[in-house]
Amino acid sequence: MTTIPPITVDRRSGLTPEEFRREYYEQGRPVVMTDASRSWQAHQVITPDWLRRTHGSKKIQVGGTQYEIAALLDILEAAKPGEPTPYPCIIDIPADWPEAAERLVDERLNRLSELPGIEGDAVYGGPREELSRFSGEVDLLIVGSRGYGPLGRLLHGSISRYLVRHAACPLLVLARGPVLAAAADTADRPRTSTALPV
């Protein structure tokens, strides 16, 4: 019988794509990236204060006990190392609270309506699937590339790459960053057209 030695799993933050590839991916080593979701916009929208304000009295079942969201957040925020808290605490907003998803969409629609000369729409769902569906309603779909790089694509997937295979209309992907730099470098040169991210 073979004994498998214990595996030490590193916890890292600020890991670059090159470091991830060299130190973990190529060596087949696991790693916990503590800040992998730091760029997610949900961190700016679905905050503890937002949950308290909009759904503080809603009840959720955690470990066989019912808590109001506001009370549960108080417990979690007051927790100290070594003191157990209700776990696992999973809040599935679109499945459990469709009204919360609708409220988020309404908030974004209101913001879009404030932009002059822009006709916008906001939906709740996976960006790949929603943009793929939307491509059936337009003559040309223009999307930006987030420029995640290899590590980001591994974690988040590439929406533009998905749309290349699934869009129902022609697709234009605008690069992020380098296009702006290239446009600045060639500002004095004659050119017929330039595409810049919006």
Q: What is the dihedral of CA 97, 101, 103, 108, to 10 degrees?
A: 170
Most confident of 4-8, 38-42, 51-55: 51-55
Distance, CA of 159 to CA of 134 (rounded, Å): 14
Distance, CA of 10 to CA of 23 (rounded, Å): 11
pLDDT at 193 over 60: no
pLDDT value, residue 120: 83
pLDDT at 169 over 90: yes
pLDDT at 6 over 70: yes
Mean pLDDT along residues 157-166: 83
Mean pLDDT along residues 14-22: 84
Name the more confident of 3 and 68: 68
CB atoms within 10 A of CB 100: 19
Domains in the chain (CATH in brackets) are: 1-36 (no CATH), 40-91 (no CATH), 99-124 (no CATH), 125-198 (3.40.50.620)
Q: How far is CA 71 from the centre of its chain?
A: 27
Name the more confident of 165 and 197: 165
Secondary element (H or E) of residue 15? none
Q: Is the pTM of this model over 0.75?
A: no
